Amino acid sequence: MNESSYCHKPAIDEIILKHGPQRQERLGAIAKSLETKFNNPALFSAETQKELDLWAVENQD
């Protein structure tokens, strides 16, 4: 890349400062949504964990 084209591109730090807070809020909302969906004790029962462990052992690379 030549120097003249580099000078016209915004710095990564500027982009992060400009867009970071909005993206952080959006990611926070997604995380809260996922927490609500997966905050179910039945998903983490002993039987489910045994099935997951068995699947992991069978599908090891």
Q: Return the domain boundaries, the chain.
A: 9-58
Q: What percent of the chain has pLDDT over 90?
A: 5
Our CA dihedral for 15, 18, 19, 20, rounded to 10 degrees, sits at: 90
**pTM of this prediction exceeds 0.75:** no
Distances (CA, A) of 18 to 10, 15, 26, 30, 31: 11, 5, 14, 20, 22
Confidence class for position 8, pLDDT limits 50, 70, 90: low
